[in-house]
Amino acid sequence: MLRDPSLIPLSRQHQHALALCVRIQRALRAGSVDLGSLQSEIHQHFSDEVRFHFAAEEQVLFPVARRFPELATLADELTSEHARLRAYFANSEQGGMDREELEAFATEFAAHIRKEERQLFEALQQRLQPEELSSLGAELQLALEDTAQACRLKPSASR
């Protein structure tokens, strides 16, 4: 099913996160793991995008899903997964991840994203009316505004 325009900003961020997971998994398979560099990238990705993404989902998207009894459990599962993933992100900031934890993080993060895309997003697109999806998109856009600010390049002081 095509992604409704209201959910495309989240889907784009999911693509960025999946690309990070793939880079981690490839590095682990190749045996060329720079733990510090990967953890720095994970932390930067969280600071620039994921923290805003999780907040938008928890404050805007998941409450809409919970209006449907058949999606409430899924929204609760996704919220719990956010908590586990935040622990990984915090550990990456401290530089405390080893190879096994990096692998577990990449696997869990990718599975979480796929669950949101394949289960939650699809279900919401089927259940919400076009005007409800449009309203949801506007709320998500507002919730994600900080992401755009965090991702803007700061002007160089030395010109």
Judge whether 118 lies within some domain: yes
Residue 37: what pLDDT? 94
Between residues 83 and 33, which one has the greater pLDDT? 83
Residue 154 resides in a domain: no
Amino acid (1-letter code) at residue 6: S
Instruction: pLDDT band for 1, please (50, 70, 90 cuts).
Output: low
Residue 149: per-residue pLDDT: 58
The predicted-structure confidence for 57-105, as pLDDT tens digits, reads as follows: 999 999 999 999 999 999 999 999 999 999 999 999 999 999 999 999 9
pTM of the model: 0.90
Structure tokens at 135: 């309203």
Measured distance CA(144)–CA(155) in Å, rounded: 22
Report the pLDDT value the prediction gives residue 134, as an integer from 0 to 100: 97
In a domain, 68, yes or no: yes
Asked if the structure places residue 85 within a domain, the reply is yes
Structural domain contains residue 153: no
Q: Which domain holds residue 30?
A: 5-145
Query: Is residue 74 in some structural domain?
Result: yes
Which CATH number do you get for residue 126? 1.20.120.520
Q: Can you tell me which residue has the tokens 């325009």?
A: 5
159: in domain: no
Q: How many domains does the chain have?
A: 1
In this predicted structure, what is the pLDDT of residue 154? 44
C-alpha 82/C-alpha 28 separation (Å) is: 23
Q: Please report the pLDDT score of residue 33 as a whole number.
A: 84
* Residue 36 domain flag: yes
Instruction: Please give the share of the chain, as a percent, with pLDDT higher than 90.
Output: 87
- Structural contact between residues 137 and 128, judged by C-beta atoms closer than 8 angstroms: no
Question: Would the pLDDT of 148 be above 90?
Answer: no
Q: Are 78 and 116 in contact (CB under 8 A)?
A: yes
Which of 40, 38, 14 has the alpha carbon at shortest distance from 109?
A: 14
Instruction: Give residue 32's pLDDT.
Output: 77
